[in-house]
A and B are shown apart, each in its own frame.
Chain A
Amino acid sequence: MSEDLDFLFALLLNGVSIGLMYSLIALGFVLVYKATDAINFAQGEFVMLAGLIVAMMLSIEGMPLAVAVAVTLAVMIGFGFGLERVVLRPLLGRPVVAVIMATIGLAAVLRGLGPVIFGSETRAVSLPIGDEPIVLGPASLPPIQVAGAIVAIVFFLVFSWFFKKSRMGVAMRAVADNQQVAQAMGINVERYFALAWAMAGVVSALGGIVWGSMLGVDVHLALVGLKVFPVVILGGLDSIGGALVGGLIIGIVESLAAGYLDPYVGGGTKDFAPYVLMILVLMIRPYGIFGKRKIERV
């Protein structure tokens, strides 16, 4: 009996840490959607791009980790700004389907050209945290998962503070709430759109470093992005807390499915269960747990 409980505890612990890392990526999606109403189908590819950049920087002999991370952050911020200016701004006011398809196109560009530019082999991102598993009671976790979970928690705290207290965060919420009124109050809406994309770049950079060092960096890193959709649908598209809770739920569901169902169906339930859960949520409560209820019904 206690062995069963230990197994459950290990699965839950694994689910929580993975879930926190999912929420980190989902956060990038939520930030963009909240501020600009644009849907980013390329979030996973952002993460892949950041991973590729950090892996390339680290492969240079004698490169300190801090510099590599700083360069990655800078490049991703620049990428976010540039992307908003070149792709998203011309699409302002166009149907939502056009924006969706543009980000799908963007995902294809990054996934296609990433390996051509950076090389297609799998690279390692080694962080100075060792690989001795950290033992917590009856279960243990690889240190990278713990580090990823801590990074995620820190960033959630930072972003909660940013949106609640800082001047820019309040302005950004105003833009999200009503663009015209925000403009009338003297807020430069376009600047905040660009800022939202840059923030998505920052979050993706961290996601790329954490996920990259866990899975290794190649084009498959972008598949992490497919988990973003169940997370944000579950939590609510425009809720930062929702991204956190959604990530935790998806992480736990995935871990439990892998632990209990895989032996019966021969593997792969990990990629399957979150989507089944998501379909159920879409049918019952499409705005998610914390999302605003303003869903366009037909």
Chain B
Amino acid sequence: MFHRESGVFKTTYRADMALYPLPIAKWTVMALALIFVVIVPLTVHEYYLSILNLIFIAIVGALGLNILVGYTGQISIGHAAFMSVGAYTAANLAVRLDLPFWITLPAGGLMAAAIGVIVGMPSLRIKGLYLAIATLAGQLIIEWTINHVPAISGGAQASIQVDRPSLFGFSFNTQGSLYFFLLFFAVLAIVGTLNLVRSRIGRAFVAVRDQDIAAEIIGIDIYRYKLLAFAISSFYAGVCGVLYTYYFGIANYEQFQLIVSIDYLAMIIIGGLGSVLGSILGAVFVTLLPIVIRILMEDVGALFFTSAEMANVISGLRLGVFGGLIIFFLIVEPEGLNRLWRNIRSYFRVWPFSY
């Protein structure tokens, strides 16, 4: 029941594609569910819950970006802009039409998907560098539009205040209740992605990434699947933006600038391209890193910097460390934390008889 296999003994494709490859996977999921649904919210302090909440939101966005970059091999430097599209769509719907979150959330996602498909259009003709630049242009144009059109951005400081989500009269207005709200969507995103990548669509994505001409020859309509990847990925990004909006109670374009796109790229590179677990690990890592840096700097940095400089130093260090980690992982371990985790696991799989 709690064993792992010592090698690959799968004889059917069905077994290879199973969501729970071994009984232990079911037990792991049950244990994780117990921990996150019962134990954590009962025992953990509100401050740590707020960090977990940010991680849940980041997981949704990272999974979306990983579907596009990791699985389909199309680069996007404009993901933060798709998040802002989702955020402002939901905020406008919630404030002007007073719609509940279960309408604004998918609406924000769908709007982001529509914009994502438009930005992804050039991928039909160009790839690699050109696509990167086209998505960069998409990011800057969307950012500029939101900032300069008061009908979208709500005028003053381009930000819209939103009430916290509520369901059947219950309002998610504390960290504890938002925890369950965000956990639900993070789990939904994880399960959705796991199922997507083992389906026909997910396999088509991987085929397009690995060798697009070969994929076309075996009958995959690569235009359709590329646009589909952009749509799904932007949908996730839009939902991620809506979650940010509800979490902070405000939609503000400054949360979705070019630097955020780089944060999310860092997540999936550090975590592992083309892997669900990698997206989760990357989201956790990138969310925790600035907090660790801040704590370290508050203790050590006071020796070198005045407190006035500290805010600048912390944000600078954070960006610098992200950049350094992106380069480090690309050169040393292109498959990211996910690969390290797999290495550890396969070492212990036949431990202590490793021959």
Q: What size tier do the contact residues of chain B reach?
A: 35 or more
**B326 and A108 contacting across the interface, CB-CB below 8 Å:** yes
**A105 and B222 contacting across the interface, CB-CB below 8 Å:** no
**B317 and A113 contacting across the interface, CB-CB below 8 Å:** yes
A112-B322 contact in complex given A100-B75, A102-B330, A268-B148, C-beta closer than 8 Å: yes
Residue from A116, A230, A296 having most chain B Cβ neighbours under 10 A: A116
Q: Does A87 count as interface, using CB distance less than 8 angstroms?
A: yes
Q: Does A229 count as interface, using CB distance less than 8 angstroms?
A: yes
Measured CB to CB, the nearest residue on chain A to B321 is: A112
Q: Which listed segment binds A: B27-35, B42-50, B125-133?
A: B125-133
A276-B129 contact in complex given A104-B262, A108-B322, C-beta closer than 8 Å: no
A271-B320 contact in complex given A91-B330, A108-B326, A282-B134, C-beta closer than 8 Å: no
**A193 vs B188: C-alpha distance in the bound complex, in angstroms?**
47
A109-B269 contact in complex given A102-B327, A286-B125, C-beta closer than 8 Å: no
Residue from A111, A226, A237, A275 having most chain B Cβ neighbours under 10 A: A275
A275-B140 contact in complex given A105-B326, A120-B312, A233-B133, C-beta closer than 8 Å: yes
Contacts of B140 in A (CB 8 A): 226, 271-272, 275
Which residue of A100, A111, A229, A272 is within 8 Å of B319 (Cβ)?
Answer: A111
**A63 vs B137: C-alpha distance in the bound complex, in angstroms?**
41
Question: Least Cβ distance of A284 to chain B in Å?
Answer: 10
Residue from B266, B317, B326 having most chain A Cβ neighbours under 10 A: B326
Question: Least Cβ distance of A227 to chain B in Å?
Answer: 11
Q: Does A24 count as interface, using CB distance less than 8 angstroms?
A: no
Contact with A along B113-150 (1 / 0, CB 8 A): 00000000010111111101110110011001001100
**A268 vs B144: C-alpha distance in the bound complex, in angstroms?**
8
Q: Does B155 count as interface, using CB distance less than 8 angstroms?
A: no
Question: Least Cβ distance of A240 to chain B in Å?
Answer: 18
Q: Does A67 count as interface, using CB distance less than 8 angstroms?
A: no
**A295 vs B126: C-alpha distance in the bound complex, in angstroms?**
8
**A37 vs B147: C-alpha distance in the bound complex, in angstroms?**
36
Q: Does A56 count as interface, using CB distance less than 8 angstroms?
A: no
Contact with B along A258-282 (1 / 0, CB 8 A): 0000000110100110011011001
Question: Least Cβ distance of B114 to chain A in Å?
Answer: 17
Q: Does A115 count as interface, using CB distance less than 8 angstroms?
A: yes
Q: Does B309 count as interface, using CB distance less than 8 angstroms?
A: yes
Considering only residues 76-113 of chain A, those with a C-beta below 8 Å from chain B are 87, 90-91, 94-98, 100-102, 104-113
**B316 and A265 contacting across the interface, CB-CB below 8 Å:** no
A90-B323 contact in complex given A104-B265, A116-B313, C-beta closer than 8 Å: no
Contacts of B130 in A (CB 8 A): 233, 282, 286, 295
**A120 and B316 contacting across the interface, CB-CB below 8 Å:** yes
Contacts of B125 in A (CB 8 A): 283, 286, 297-298
Question: Least Cβ distance of B310 to chain A in Å?
Answer: 11
Q: Does B331 count as interface, using CB distance less than 8 angstroms?
A: yes
Q: Does A39 count as interface, using CB distance less than 8 angstroms?
A: yes
**A245 vs B222: C-alpha distance in the bound complex, in angstroms?**
35
Q: Does B324 count as interface, using CB distance less than 8 angstroms?
A: yes
**A102 and B137 contacting across the interface, CB-CB below 8 Å:** no
**A87 and B134 contacting across the interface, CB-CB below 8 Å:** no
**A260 vs B126: C-alpha distance in the bound complex, in angstroms?**
33
**A171 vs B247: C-alpha distance in the bound complex, in angstroms?**
58
Measured CB to CB, the nearest residue on chain A to B325 is: A105
Contacts of B128 in A (CB 8 A): 96-97, 100, 296
**A122 vs B140: C-alpha distance in the bound complex, in angstroms?**
24
Contacts of B323 in A (CB 8 A): 104-112
**B127 and A298 contacting across the interface, CB-CB below 8 Å:** yes
**B327 and A116 contacting across the interface, CB-CB below 8 Å:** no
Measured CB to CB, the nearest residue on chain B to A283 is: B122
Q: Does B73 count as interface, using CB distance less than 8 angstroms?
A: yes
Measured CB to CB, the nearest residue on chain B to A279 is: B137
**A36 vs B131: C-alpha distance in the bound complex, in angstroms?**
19
Measured CB to CB, the nearest residue on chain B to A107 is: B323
**A181 vs B130: C-alpha distance in the bound complex, in angstroms?**
27
**12 additional contacts (CB under 8 A) given A108-B322, A229-B133, A297-B126:** A39-B129, A97-B69, A97-B128, A100-B129, A102-B326, A105-B324, A108-B262, A115-B316, A116-B312, A296-B126, A296-B128, A298-B124
Q: Which 6 A-B pairs have the closest CB atoms?
A: A108-B323, A112-B319, A112-B320, A105-B326, A109-B323, A113-B320
- 19 A/B residue pairs, CB under 8 Å, sorted by A: A41-B132, A97-B75, A100-B75, A100-B128, A102-B331, A105-B323, A105-B327, A109-B323, A112-B315, A112-B316, A112-B321, A113-B319, A116-B313, A226-B140, A271-B144, A275-B141, A282-B133, A295-B130, A298-B127
